[in-house]
Amino acid sequence: MAVLRERHPEYYFNDGTAHFLISEPTRQTLYKLYPGLLTLRSSVLESLFSLPQPGGQQSAREGTCDENPIVLHGIIRREFDYLLAFLSGGYAGEQHREEFLISVLKLSEFFEITHGSQYAVAELSRLESFDASLKLQLGRQYHVDHWVEPAFRDLLSRPLSSISRAEACRMGLEYFYVLAHVKSLVERSCRAIAYTAPPLIQPPICTTPSQCEASWKEEWWNDIARQLLHPDDPCCGHEILAWLDDAEIPGLCAACKEATISELKDKQMDVLLQEEELVNTAVMEIMALQTDEPIRASFRQLHSH
């Protein structure tokens, strides 16, 4: 079945001199553009147009006619149209705003259009609807490092079961593994903290030691442990400490409460804040993936044997 070849209805300029072709399974689209529009902004296209041609024959030069266009392999017509709209000052409208900006980012990176990449990153960052998994994917693919950590932390704050297959695919296997692994470690840490109530510290001025002891254990099991083990929105260690500072615990005297919280902050802070340490370690791991350091480390390990 012959594939239809057509001239683009908007980006085939009669007085243009640079001929391009985008080939898709069901159609081939010819573009006839102004070289200056492209070469002033793209170092890749500037280099392409400055290459010497064999034999100096103008008729044989790639990109000078419809019969011998520059073929843009692997590029989608819709995305290229968005890039051209951006370069010529056009705008896709709110309905397709995200798709427009992602296309500008993708092809600006491909063609090395610096101001296009900068524009797309800035505008995507302003979108309230910018999905965390998509932000992580684009940050990973195009090295927008300042997107990666907040997107990862956003995904980490959600129950693992709420992350869809599509979101996991956007994240990539390595990043999803880090997220799933740290969530498993955090859940185990929370269970360990919740399972054993910290000892109640009772100063000599306490006049109701038995009542305070019973009240503390009841509060821990019936409230704090439940917050730590909540299936959808568990509290972390520093939130528990902040809550204890303000909480009124029936049956627990002020002296016992103050002494116990002080002991928790002095002696068991590392245990209560273990979740934050685990998360920070995971963040460092994914940020290292933004560089080639893991690959370098693998080569160093390989050559050390």
With contact defined as beta carbons under 8 Å apart, do 30 and 7 qualify? yes
59/62 Cα distance (integer angstroms): 8
pLDDT in tens, 274-285: 888 899 999 999
1/105 Cα distance (integer angstroms): 34
- Crossing angle of helices 209-219 and 254-267, in 10° steps, is 60
With contact defined as beta carbons under 8 Å apart, do 105 and 39 qualify? no
67/147 Cα distance (integer angstroms): 43
Buried b (16+ CB within 10 A) or exposed e, 71-84: ebeebebebbbbbb
Average pLDDT, the chain: 86
User: Is pLDDT above 90 for 213?
Assistant: yes
pLDDT in tens, 27-67: 999 999 998 888 777 878 777 776 666 555 555 578 889 99
DSSP-derived secondary structure for 254-276: HHHHHHHHHHHHHHSHHHHTHHH
What lies within 8 Å, CB to CB, of 98 at 6+ separation is: 124, 127, 129, 130
Element (H, E) at 71: strand 70-71
Neighbours of 211 (CB within 10 A): 15
116/125 Cα distance (integer angstroms): 14
Element (H, E) at 279: helix 274-289
Amino acid present at 258: E
Bridge partners, 30 (sequence order): 7, 21
Q: What's the confidence (pLDDT) of residue 228? A: 84
Report domain 4-50+60-98's class.
Answer: alpha beta
Q: How confident is the model at residue 294 (pLDDT cuts 50, 70, 90)?
A: low
Q: How confident is the model at residue 1 (pLDDT cuts 50, 70, 90)?
A: low
- Crossing angle of helices 274-289 and 237-246, in 10° steps, is 150
Token pair 């470690």 is at which residue? 185
Residue among 58, 75, 60, 82 at smallest CA distance from 20: 75
101/103 Cα distance (integer angstroms): 5
Q: How confident is the model at residue 196 (pLDDT cuts 50, 70, 90)?
A: confident
Residue extent(s) of CATH 3.30.710 domains in the chain: 4-50+60-98
Order of strands across the sheet with 70-71? 4-12, 27-33, 18-24, 70-71
